[in-house]
Chains A and B, each alone.
Chain A
Amino acid sequence: MTSTPTSERLFDAAFLTKLDRLALVTKQVVAGALQGERRSPKRGASVEFADFKPYVAGDDFRQIDWNLYARMERFFLKLFVAEEELTVHLLVDTSRSMDWGQPNKLLYAKRAAGAMGYLALSKLDRVTLTAFGQERELKLPPQRSKRGVVPLFSFLTDIQPGTATHFAAVCKRYAQTARNAGPLLLCSDLMDEEWQAGLQALLSRRFEITLLHILAPQELNPQLEGDVRLLDAEGGASVDLTADLDLIRRYQRSLESWREEVGTYCTGRGINYIPIDTSYPIEDLLLNLLRQRGIVR
């Protein structure tokens, strides 16, 4: 299957224009899992009053409300609503199985991650991106504000398809090392025996996981005929088949049941499961599908 050369511009002008328009459209409404400016249950420094609290030794005496002391002759702290920034975690599977399909799955994953990152950055959230698939994961240091868009995009552009996924190990390590939990977008094709273990590892932290399950149209509806030997792009065992329509139908049924299995697993654990094939326009994904699913409001 022809793979799109990775040299193809990841974010061409047309896409960036679309993205800008998206950012405009979503300016007031982006919320939910990826919302950046939002109230925090913690009290912090901002201009919005929240509450009073009696002073106890060790409190920041700069926050004592002197006007209240004048009236009550007791120390009270004036508390303000904290505006907490969120860390949006973007995980992109760059294993070789992702670099396949027409349109390319990896490209799609990059664009989806880039778009989500762009939206998050434009809301002043922290964005961290991890590409796994190589021997070691590639990490983009946390970025803030629109200034982070350039490093994010150049980082995404530079990602090369790796070799094989050790999905479960990667997820486990990520869950252990992530500084603080938050919304997490996982773009993968889950072509790994251990996809359940990986998701389980991520669930151990309080990530709000959205799983973008990316498959190519050629995987959903393979065009095979006659005696073929299927070679694994990641170097796995090859499969000999005599393909006919009957076999394709059985494959499709098997695929469907697998997707259902993943979907059931995810919904049972509060993971947003979004099965997508790469022929689906990414604008529609961001504007319609994610909105329907409540990830973008």
Chain B
Amino acid sequence: MGFLAPLAFGLALLVPVIVAMYLLKLRREEQTVSSTFLWQRMVRDVEANTPWQKLRRNILLLLQLLLLLALIAALARPYLLTTGITGNNLILIVDRSASMAATDAGGTRLAAAKHEALRLIDQLPDNGRATVIAVGGQMEVPASASSDRRELRQAIERLEIRNGGGSDLSQALALAGSLAAREFESEVAIISDGQVTIPDQATLPVPVQFFPIGSRADNVAISAFVLQPGQGGQTLFVQATNYGSAPVQRRMVVELDGALFNAYDFTLDPGQDRSIVADVPSTVRRATARLDGSDVLPLDDQAWATSGGTDKATVRIMTDGNRFLETAFSLLPGIQVTTVPTTTTTFTDTVALTVLDGVTPAPLPPGNLLFIGPLRSTELFSVTGALEFPASRPATGNEPLLRNVSVAEINVLRAAQLTKPVWARTVIDSDGGPMLLAGEQSGRRIGVLGFALQNSDLPLQIAFPVLMANLVGYLAPGQGSDAAQLQPGQPLVVPVPPDATRVTVTNPAGNVAELTPQNNQAVYGDTDALGVYTISIERPNADPLARATAVNLQNAGESRVAPRKQLSLFQAGGRVVTTAEERAGRSEFWRWLAWIALGVLIVEWLVYQRSALAWLRERWFTNRRGAPRRAGT
């Protein structure tokens, strides 16, 4: 503990002044009474009952001294060294991803993080400013360079768990870096459980403090849960994974359309998973799996699966013949493939997706497009040259298109050098430029793979069919069994027949939203809550179409809740491990002392006025009793 203004202790000279004034004042007023006989009698009674009588006489003096001491202590501005911050401009990065919903920090980790954030805000110097960046799902900045404590507090209090989107720090760190560079004495504080994605090239010019949250790692999750059409019925596939560090015995209960189907007991070693495959009747529309018992993260202990539609999506492949492509697409469930020659110029029938294998037809076909090894620029993207032997790597972040795809093993001979257009995001990156782009432009989804399949060993790898399946799931959404599963936060895309009159989505909480179809599809974006979303499409002269999509937290990155005590970050000057250090912060508490002083002042006043208060109290009771009581005869 230290004092910022120790000179204030000079005011302690006022203590003897007060005492002296008190002694001078304590020349008691002398009053003659007929006899002190009665008073002595009373004092005897009182002193026999209240040993504090002597103290009572001096209580005002004591209170005044206490008040003075509290004021002096407050003016001396005492502080405690704590884990915290010293800067003037604080940039708070608060993790609100699904793993922060773990309940091992006295409440949820998010609550603990909020508490920590509020504590840091309190440590800010009086003119200090803070920016709050919420990481998890879409990055948000609820409070920007604000010195208004109330606004900052509200911004922090309002943070809520985002189930989807993982926890990618790259954007937040980039923003924090640019914010910090503008201000003097900036400091970045990351409050997280450490289950975050950190970019390799993030460099921050300012000190970074990491405040770890969370203590336990035991978590079992339902890591996969699918209901797929199978032989003469449907196949239910469910997988539970132990992400913790100790063997766990759990029971999984599976319900079909609300009725209990089966319960499975199993013991899982750390890191082990257990898969269950069961045949279920084709009439089952919805299945629920639930892990009994409790672990740190309850969000992933429950999963839903819905029966996918049986209608098939048509994929048009424009190729001069590509066995790899045709095979991969024909193996995908719920997909019907039509092949057209590269010379085709007019496209009449609407299809879900057109794959352009090495061709860029002058008017691009309507609908969603997947370019493979484009040779020329189009109106959607530009090809600026060619790359020889580019080393590909996945883009940072939790990219859903790269689910179960290992990118590092792909070798590419030659690829088109692409420039990233504004609508697209990089899925596979390389030193020379993006290798795979994906994104949405004016209502259509576009994918661009930079290299031709024959120029790489991708088709020979396991990653190929998986990547193709992921791409088709993204580019031709709402088709087949893939459409029955979504990651939280992913937009729910519904193919809508042209004659539909009304499209509504009911979310797990029961709220109904009406969608406006565009280009024969409707998009519903608010899918952060876990559960089953029901889509209803009304058509004239026909029964409404009903579909359901399950949103599950099947994200290994979030289910792996083991907290990390330190984060590794590139900082200016090399790779530096940053972690919360003792002594870093200085928390002043003069406000509390000032409050205490105020309290003592109030108490002193009450004591001084106790006669009047007692009189008021007596009046009050007399009035309530209704009959005034006379003292004396």
Contacts and interface: CB of A to CB of B under 8 A. Distances in A.
A is bound by B: yes
Interface of A: 1, 97-98, 100-101, 105, 189, 191-193, 216-217, 219-222, 224-234, 236-247, 249-252, 254-255, 258, 275-277, 280
Nearest to A237: B36
Given A230-B36, A233-B35, A246 B42 contact: no
B42 A242 contact: no
A246 B610 contact: yes
B614 A244 contact: yes
Interface string B598-632: 00000000000011101100100000000000011
B39 interface: yes
B33 A230 contact: yes
A247 B614 CA distance: 10
Interface stretch (B24-32, B290-298, B359-367, B505-513): B24-32
B34 A219 contact: yes
A230 B633 contact: no
Interface string B453-491: 000000000000000000000000000000000000000
Given A241-B39, A242-B56, A245-B610, 6 more contacts: A97-B35, A220-B631, A220-B632, A229-B30, A232-B33, A249-B614
Contact of A237 (B31, B40, B612, B633): B40
B51 to A, nearest CB: 15
Contacts of B28: 227-229, 240
Given A251-B38, A255-B38, A228 B30 contact: yes
22 contacts: A1-B32, A1-B33, A1-B34, A100-B34, A191-B38, A192-B37, A219-B38, A224-B31, A225-B611, A227-B26, A228-B30, A230-B32, A230-B39, A231-B36, A232-B32, A232-B37, A234-B35, A236-B37, A242-B56, A247-B46, A252-B631, A252-B632
B30 A189 contact: no
Contacts of A276: 633
Contacts of B26: 227
Contacts of A241: 39, 43
B182 interface: no
Interface centre among A189, A245, A277 (most CB of B within 10 A): A245
A250 B124 CA distance: 54
A245 B35 CA distance: 20
A277 B610 contact: no
B633 A275 contact: yes
A97 B631 contact: no
B150 interface: no
Contacts of A258: 38, 41
Contact of B37 (A193, A220, A247, A277): A193
B379 interface: no
B126 interface: no
B631 to A, nearest CB: 5
Nearest to B617: A245
Contact of A191 (B30, B31, B37): B37
A222 B26 CA distance: 21
Nearest to A100: B34
Contact of B34 (A216, A226, A252, A277): A216
B31 A245 contact: no
A103 to B, nearest CB: 13
B31 A239 contact: no
Contact of A254 (B45, B614, B618, B631): B45
A228 B633 contact: no
Nearest to B29: A228
A242 B607 CA distance: 12
Nearest to B45: A254
Interface string B117-150: 0000000000000000000000000000000000
A215 to B, nearest CB: 8
Interface residues of B, number: 30
B57 interface: yes
Contact of B39 (A216, A239, A245, A246): A239
B45 to A, nearest CB: 6
Majority SS at the chain A contact face: mixed
Contacts of A236: 35-37
Sorted nearest first, the 3 A-B pairs with minimum C-beta distance are A191-B35, A220-B632, A245-B614
B32 A233 contact: yes
B46 A250 contact: yes
A279 B425 CA distance: 101
A222 B35 CA distance: 12
A211 to B, nearest CB: 15
Given A220-B631, A227-B29, A229-B30, A239 B35 contact: no
A234 B34 CA distance: 7
B34 A228 contact: no
Nearest to B615: A245
Determine which residue in A243, A244, A255 has the highest number of CB atoms from chain B within 10 A of its CB, and name it: A244
A255 to B, nearest CB: 6
A107 to B, nearest CB: 14
Interface in B182-212: none
A53 to B, nearest CB: 53
Contacts of A219: 33-34, 38
B633 A277 contact: yes
Contacts of A229: 28-31
Contacts of A191: 34-35, 37-38
Contacts of A249: 614
B33 A233 contact: yes
B31 A1 contact: yes
Given A236-B37, A254-B45, A231 B611 contact: no
Nearest to A227: B28
B42 A251 contact: yes
Nearest to B25: A227
Contact of A189 (B35, B57, B610): B35
Nearest to A232: B36
A58 B131 CA distance: 130
Q: Which of A227, A234, A258 has the most CB of B within 10 A?
A: A227
A98 B37 CA distance: 13
A239 B32 contact: no
A239 B610 contact: no
A97 B38 CA distance: 12
Nearest to A251: B42
Contacts of A277: 632-633
A218 to B, nearest CB: 8
B239 to A, nearest CB: 75
Contact of A280 (B38, B611, B614, B633): B633
Nearest to B57: A242
A150 B559 CA distance: 115
A241 B30 CA distance: 10
A97 B34 contact: yes
